[in-house]
């Protein structure tokens, strides 16, 4: 496995990251354990979750994913095999939201307890919080790093302007800087990242671990008509955004490239992302070991210039 440097953090991560939003939600505990074991056994080490996963599910309060990972870590003894990333800032209820220093200190202790570990490798601001001075938030992270509870920090869902301001604040005050960014980016959702975030991240050596690598499953080719989408709640939610002329044009290009490489559209979609400037490790999820093995194969695809050009042309905005 060829590991990649995550920003300037010193962390070395696999070129694909497992998205832990499914743990304890669409993947029960036994399945989650099997997925985590298979991920590590395949040579991958990067796992991303968040304290809020999966608060959106009926009967869930948040922390379900972290708790499953924690129980797996305790049972498997594989903590030293993984780079563990989680996040803080999304609304956990009862006023538990945002990036106030006091709340960050409270939230990290809760995450460490659920994860059953003494440190988090990558602790990320899940959303920007403009109500709190950047220096205060970064100062709280500095304390956690000094205490050995966090190794590096990252940002998620930040605009280019705010990420740049955060980086400038870190440099000016000698505080830890965001070593990673977690933006929305895939073959369909390209514009926001490529416009200003990508050049900033490349210039400042900020690692990018983009979410929705498969556009909620659309780029696997699973949803090609409204009837396909209606078969699942997740599919129905993707219909309006992706099932249009541009989306179908992208699927046609993925089909063509996949046929040439004896691969699947989803594998090609991930392989395309992995060679884009600034991208360190796309984040993708699986709910079965078979799906996980499909993701693993994506990292073995080496797309040639013709394939990349075909995909770029099909997915160009406008």
Cβ proximity of 198 and 172 under 8 Å: no
Confirm whether 103 is a catalytic residue.
no
DSSP line for the chain = ---EE-TTS--EE-SSEEEGGGBTTTB-HHHHHHHHHHHHHTT--EEE--TTTTTTSTT--S-HHHHHHHHHHHHH--GGG-EEEEEE-S--STT--S--HHHHHHHHHHHHHHHT-S-EEEEEESS--TTS-HHHHHHHHHHHHHTTSEEEEEEES--HHHHHHHHHHHHHHT---EEEEE-B-SSSS-HHIIIIIHHHHHHHT-EE--B-TTGGGGGGT---SHHHHTTSHHHHHHHHHHSSHHHHHHHHHHHHHHHHHT--HHHHHHHHHHTSTTB---EE--SSHHHHHHHHHHTT----HHHHHHHHHHH---
Two tokens, residue 109: 């202790």
Cβ proximity of 108 and 142 under 8 Å: no
Active-site residues, by number, are 53
């Amino acid at each position: 496995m060829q590991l990649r440097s995550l920003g300037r953090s010193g962390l070395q991560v696999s070129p694909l990251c497992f998205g832990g939003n499914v743990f304890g939600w669409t993947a029960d505990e036994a399945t989650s354990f099997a997925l985590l074991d298979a991920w590590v056994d395949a040579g991958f080490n990067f796992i991303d979750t968040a304290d809020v996963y999966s608060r959106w599910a009926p009967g869930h309060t948040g922390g379900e994913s972290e708790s499953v990972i924690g129980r797996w870590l305790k049972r498997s003894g594989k903590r030293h095999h993984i780079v563990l990333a989680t996040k803080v800032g999304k609304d956990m209820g009862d006023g538990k939201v945002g990036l106030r220093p006091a709340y960050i200190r409270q939230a990290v202790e809760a995450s460490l307890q659920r994860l059953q570990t003494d440190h988090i490798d990558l602790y990320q601001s899940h959303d920007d919080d403009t109500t709190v001075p950047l220096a205060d938030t970064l100062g709280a992270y500095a304390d956690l790093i000094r205490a050995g509870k966090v190794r590096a920090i990252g940002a998620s869902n930040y605009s280019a302007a705010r990420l740049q301001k955060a980086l400038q604040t870190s440099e000016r005050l000698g505080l830890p800087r965001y070593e990673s960014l977690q933006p929305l980016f895939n073959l369909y959702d390209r514009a926001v990242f490529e416009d200003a975030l990508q050049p900033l991240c490349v210039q400042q050596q900020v690692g990018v671990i983009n979410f929705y690598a498969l556009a909620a499953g659309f780029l696997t080719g699973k949803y090609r008509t409204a009837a396909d989408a209606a078969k699942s709640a997740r599919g129905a939610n993707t219909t309006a955004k992706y099932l249009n002329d541009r989306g179908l044009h992208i699927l046609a290009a993925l089909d063509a490239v996949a046929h040439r490489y004896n691969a699947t559209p989803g594998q090609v979609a991930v392989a395309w992302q992995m060679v884009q400037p600034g991208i360190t490790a796309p984040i993708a999820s699986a709910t079965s070991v078979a799906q996980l093995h499909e993701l693993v194969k994506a990292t073995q695809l080496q797309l040639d210039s013709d394939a990349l050009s075909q995909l770029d042309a099909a997915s160009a905005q406008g």
